[in-house]
């Protein structure tokens, strides 16, 4: 019997502003779409936090036994500098500044994005589609929106008619904004715009002669509006009505609001059952921003090469720090916070390493089954990782008491304790076990990587005796190699 039949998961749905019992549209299956990065610069640490929240959610849903199709897109065209459909395409601008092809920008920062996420031990999504790979689907969507009377064409561009839409639907249903307030609070059009109303948004933009990224369409050579790609790709892979749509809080309006309007206008169907939004990451109590200098990127945080933190932090320590807050709370990144997380992380790892040396007794002084259910209860309460971690630390305390002789455990409970800790710490929170002396030990990592590469060569040469010897000798030394489709990684015990 899959776990989801015995564990009742609740999640906070932005659409209803309530914690709801999670019931997928099709029993046993979950479709989840998360808005991915616009690949025109190194991935922002705040975005890493958002994607990490959904990585943890993906891991837990899979653990519960759901078959999850997780789609996270790459925005490689159409994202303009400003929400009012003005300014340059972010990727085109960077390409112009660096005098290289837009697709070189896309390639460079997609690689950076994947590298950073791999460093933080993310699972790859099931599908990672790109906007430029789905131009035809976007053109078809625009045509349906026009055919249904919600889109209008001006000078080769196509706009979504928000005012018309709002006469038969509710624009603002997700962000709880009212169109009247939006009208009241936006400046009038400056005469340059083709839009009927400032609240309307672009579905297709005619490309200026200098615009490099362009595709043919029935209306003009141009490019799709940013909001459209997510509607096209989410519904292509997950259906016109799917379970979970996630993203950062900043995408709730206008991006996600526009996605709802587009789907409703094109297909007469609200697209998503549960909307989930991950909160912001601040730095030293203020918004992270490159322009104010209150900014640190993932590489600087990991290498220690920055003026903000006192030292380098291991990716698992940073992951542990992020998981100590609920994904729905604002989290403040500070040196003190990371240093405290580092201590906590090592206490947890030390306790896990102690387990194989603990002596079982005839009785247990902790109800391990009840403790295990507490771990599930925490996660079932809208993925409450801070409560989960507090519960994991009850086990840490207990393990240390067993070691001191002030508590006892049966061998059966010891096994259950170990497997439960492994499940929650490594599979669900996605932490990697590293010993204290290994932190910052780049030399060990380099040495093991040399051996991993030698073993890969040996396997390519079909010298399996040598490849097995490298693996077995490393295991003898306490270093386990883990092979997967993405390559070989290692863990130490
Ligand atoms: Zn999106």
Would you say 258 is a known binding-site residue?
A: no
The rounded Å distance from CA 230 to ligand 1 centre is 5
Instruction: Give the C-alpha separation, 194 to 159, whole Å.
Output: 9
Answer whether residue 434 is part of any domain: no
Last residue of a domain, one of 428, 455, 480: 428
Choice between 83 and 347, residue whose per-residue pLDDT is larger:
347
Q: What region, left, alpha or beta, does residue 285 occupy, with left being phi > 0 and alpha being psi -120 to 50 degrees?
A: left
Residue 214 in any domain: the answer is yes
357 pLDDT band (50/70/90 cuts)?
very high
How many angstroms does the Cα of residue 14 sit away from the middle of ligand 1?
Answer: 16
Does residue 191 carry a pLDDT above 80? no
Q: Alpha-carbon distance 140 to 145, whole Å?
A: 9
Q: Same domain for 420 and 461?
A: no
How large is the average pLDDT for residues 345-363? 96
Return the minimum-mean-pLDDT range out of 7-21, 139-153, 197-211, 474-488: 474-488
What's the pTM value of the predicted model, to 2 decimals? 0.87
* Statement: residue 222 has pLDDT above 60: yes
Does residue 290 have a known ligand-binding role? yes
Within-domain flag for 433:
no
Q: Kindly give, in sequence order, each residue whose CB lies less than 8 Å from that of residue 79, ignoring residues fewer than 6 positions away.
A: 38, 40, 89, 90, 91, 226
Q: Among candidates 290, 382, 286, which has minimal Cα distance to 60?
A: 382
* pLDDT greater at residue 487 or residue 453: 453
**Residues 6+ positions from 331 with CB-CB distance below 8 Å:** 49, 279, 280, 281, 282, 322, 325
Considering the domain architecture, whether residues 251 and 388 belong to the same structural domain is answered as no
Say yes or no to pLDDT of 12 above 90.
yes
Q: Is 394 within a domain?
A: yes
- How many A from CA of 383 to the centre of ligand 1? 22
Which domain covers residue 488, as residue numbers? 441-492
Assess whether pLDDT exceeds 80 at residue 111: yes
Q: Measure Cα distances from 172 to 71, 166, 231 in Å.
A: 25, 9, 17
Query: Residues 238, 378: one domain?
Result: no
Query: Are residues 205 and 225 in contact, defined by beta-carbon separation less than 8 angstroms?
Result: yes
Using DSSP's 3-state secondary structure scheme, residue 309 falls into coil
Cα 74 to averaged position of ligand 1 atoms, centre (Å): 9
CATH number for the domain spanning 215: value is 3.40.50.620
Q: Are residues 357 and 454 in the same domain?
A: no
- To the nearest 10 degrees (0 to 180), the angle between helices 335-354 and 411-422 is 150
Percent of the chain with pLDDT over 90: 76
Domain for residue 288, yes or no? no
35 annotated as belonging to a binding site for a ligand = yes
Q: Are residues 144 and 44 in the same domain?
A: yes
Q: Ligand 1 centroid vs 32 CA: distance in angstroms? A: 12
If you measure from the C-alpha of residue 63 to the centroid of ligand 1, how many angstroms do you get, rounded to a whole number?
A: 26
Q: Quick one: pLDDT at residue 160?
A: 97
Classify strands 10-13 and 487-492 as parallel, antiparallel or unpaired.
unpaired
Mean pLDDT of the chain: 93
Lowest mean pLDDT: which of 10-19, 65-74, 203-212? 203-212
Alpha carbons within 13 A on the beta-carbon side of 320:
28
Same domain for 377 and 475 = no
Residue 153: strand pairing partners: 158
Asked if 73 contacts 54 with a C-beta cutoff of 8 angstroms, the reply is: no
Q: Tell me, yes or no, whether 268 and 383 share the same domain.
A: no
The Cα 52–Cα 278 span in angstroms is 10
Q: Do 370 and 484 lie in a common domain?
A: no
73 lies in some domain: yes
> How distant, in Å, are the alpha carbons of 1, 116, 119, 203 from that of 106?
44, 15, 20, 22
**Domain end residue (candidates: 211, 243, 278):** 278
The answer to whether 74 and 128 are in contact (CB under 8 A) is yes
Q: Is 227 annotated as a binding residue?
A: no
Mind listing the pLDDT tens digit for each residue in 462-489? Answer: 898 898 889 888 888 878 888 876 678 7
Number of domains in the chain: 3
273-319 per-position pLDDT tens digit: 999 999 999 999 999 988 898 999 999 999 999 999 999 999 999 99
Residues 174 and 251 in one domain: yes
Do the domain assignments include residue 256? yes
Question: Quick one: pLDDT at residue 448?
Answer: 86
Indicate if 227 and 334 belong to the same structural domain.
no
Q: How far is the CA of 175 from the centre of ligand 1 (A)?
A: 15
Type and span of the H or E element at 81: strand 80-82
Domain edge (last residue) among 428, 450, 467: 428
Q: Name which of 91, 74, 75, 76 is nearest 127 in CA terms.
A: 74
Owner of token pair 């921003």? 289
CA pair distance 233, 134, nearest whole angstrom = 7
Q: Does pLDDT of 110 surpass 80?
A: yes
Both 141 and 93 in one domain: the answer is yes
Q: How far is the CA of 252 from the centre of ligand 1 (A)?
A: 10
| Residue 293 in domain | no
Is the pLDDT confidence value at 440 over 60? no
Residue 412, pLDDT above cutoff 90: yes
Was 114 annotated as part of a binding site?
A: no
Same domain for 229 and 121: yes
- For ligand 1, the distance from its centroid to the CA atom of residue 13, given in whole angstroms, is 17
Dist. CA 194 → ligand 1 center (Å): 24
């Amino acid at each position: 019997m899959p776990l989801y039949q015995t564990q009742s998961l609740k999640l906070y749905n932005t659409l209803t502003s309530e914690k709801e019992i999670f019931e997928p549209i099709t029993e046993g299956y979950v479709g989840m779409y998360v808005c991915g990065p616009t690949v025109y610069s190194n991935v922002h640490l705040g975005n890493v936090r958002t994607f990490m929240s959904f990585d943890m959610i993906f891991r837990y849903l899979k653990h519960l036994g759901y078959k999850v199709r997780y789609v996270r897109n790459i925005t490689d065209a159409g994202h303009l500098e400003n929400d009012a459909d003005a300014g340059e395409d972010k990727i085109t601008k960077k390409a112009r500044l660096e005098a290289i092809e837009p697709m070189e920008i896309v390639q460079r920062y997609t690689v950076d994005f994947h590298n950073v996420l791999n460093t933080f031990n993310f699972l790859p999504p099931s599908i990672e589609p790109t906007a430029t790979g789905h131009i035809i689907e976007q053109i078809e969507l625009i045509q349906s929106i026009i055919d249904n009377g919600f889109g209008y064409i001006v000078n080769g561009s196509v706009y979504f008619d928000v005012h018309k839409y709002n006469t038969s639907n509710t624009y603002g249903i997700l962000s709880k904004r009212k169109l009247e307030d939006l009208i009241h609070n936006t400046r009038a059009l400056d005469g340059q715009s083709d839009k009927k109303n400032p609240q309307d948004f672009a579905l297709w933009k005619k490309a200026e002669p200098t615009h490099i990224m362009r595709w043919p369409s029935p209306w003009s050579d141009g490019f799709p509006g940013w909001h459209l790609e997510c509607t096209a790709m989410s519904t292509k892979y997950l259906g016109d009505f799917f379970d979970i749509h996630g993203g950062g809080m900043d995408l709730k309006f206008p991006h996600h609001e526009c996605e709802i309007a587009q789907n409703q206008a094109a297909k007469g169907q609200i697209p998503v059952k549960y909307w989930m939004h991950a909160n912001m990451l601040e730095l030293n109590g203020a918004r992270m921003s490159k322009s104010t200098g209150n900014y640190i990127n993932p590489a600087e945080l990991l290498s220690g090469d920055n003026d903000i933190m006192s030292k380098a932090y291991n990716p698992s320590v940073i992951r542990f720090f992020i998981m100590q807050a609920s994904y729905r709370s604002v989290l403040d990144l500070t040196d003190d916070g990371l240093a405290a997380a580092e201590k906590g992380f090592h206490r947890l790892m030390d306790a896990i390493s102690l387990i194989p040396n603990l002596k079982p007794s005839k009785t247990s002084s902790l109800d391990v089954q009840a403790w295990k259910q507490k771990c599930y209860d925490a996660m079932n309460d809208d993925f409450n990782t801070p409560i989960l971690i507090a519960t994991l630390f009850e086990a840490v305390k207990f393990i240390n008491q067993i070691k001191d002789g002030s508590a006892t455990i049966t061998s059966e409970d010891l096994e259950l304790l170990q497997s439960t800790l492994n499940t929650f710490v490594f599979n669900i929170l996605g932490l990697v076990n590293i010993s204290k002396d290994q932190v910052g030990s780049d030399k060990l990592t380099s040495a093991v990587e040399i051996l991993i590469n030698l073993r890969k060569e040996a396997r390519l040469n079909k010298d399996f005796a040598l490849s097995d010897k490298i693996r077995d000798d490393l295991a003898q030394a306490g270093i386990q190699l883990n092979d997967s489709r993405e390559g070989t990684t290692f863990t130490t015990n």
